A and B are shown apart, each in its own frame.
Chain A
Amino acid sequence: QQPVQSPQAVILREGEDAVINCSSSKALYSVHWYRQKHGEAPVFLMILLKGGEQKGHEKISASFNEKKQQSSLYLTASQLSYSGTYFCGTVVGDDKIIFGKGTRLHILP
């Protein structure tokens, strides 16, 4: 039931783009994306509700393909502040978020 995230880790240079994928074996009500920096709490990025929408948040956007039960997070022109672990969380209708194992993103200057 836990969503699968890929890749597990990414190293980028500042200014490069990244894509983080999240897939589920179950039909999804919504997908959540959070970022957690080392030693800190997870911070909300965005929610995508079923309907196949795409959302944007500054240079970070995400898509949700309801039929494929997949979501992707796009980070454009990455900044040093984007470093951290990105978690997708899926909701299958029982109102609880099941988080993936996370994708560690490290941005080099």
Chain B
Amino acid sequence: DTAVSQTPKYLVTQMGNDKSIKCEQNLGHDTMYWYKQDSKKFLKIMFSYNNKELIINETVPNRFSPKSPDKAHLNLHINSLELGDSAVYFCASSQLGTGGDEQFFGPGTRLTVL
């Protein structure tokens, strides 16, 4: 069984389009995250949700909107895509979300904006 899954795995789109990435975890965790890993492999947190409530919002452009319909799902919608949005986006989850807890990462979604 996959612990943290993301769809799609690859996403290629034109500038200006809107796209969504979906994430699901079956670990029963309360906290979920979105990370962005750029071409230089820098891994940066974007958002975290605890039991459907937004906890961390890291100075991300408001073109990015996370949505958590329930604590097992955290989706990421991106409006008006720009070239600089090209990156690998990782979803992750942890039980506590207090910084003292291991995080389980999904396989990643490679977004390419042309």
Contact = CB atoms under 8 A, between A and B. Distances in A.
Interface of A: 29-30, 32, 36, 40-44, 47, 49, 85, 87, 91, 93-99, 101-102
A41 B100 contact: no
Contact of B99 (A36, A44, A91, A99): A91
A96 B42 CA distance: 15
B103 A97 contact: yes
Interface of B: 40-45, 48, 55-56, 58, 90, 97-108
A49 B100 contact: yes
Nearest to A2: B42
B105 A30 contact: no
Given A42-B90, A99-B42, A102-B41, 8 more contacts: A44-B104, A47-B101, A91-B100, A93-B99, A95-B97, A96-B48, A96-B99, A97-B103
Nearest to B50: A95
A45 B107 CA distance: 17
B102 A40 contact: no
Contact of A42 (B98, B100, B101, B105): B105
B43 A96 contact: no
B101 to A, nearest CB: 7
Q: Name B's interface SS.
A: loop
Contacts of A41: 90, 105-108
Contacts of A95: 48, 55-56, 97-99
Most buried by B among A32, A41, A44, A94: A41
Contacts of B99: 29-30, 91, 93-97
Contacts of A102: 41-43
Nearest to B103: A44
Nearest to B31: A95
Contact of B44 (A42, A43, A85, A99): A99
Contacts of B100: 29-30, 47, 49, 91
Contacts of B101: 47
A85 B41 contact: yes
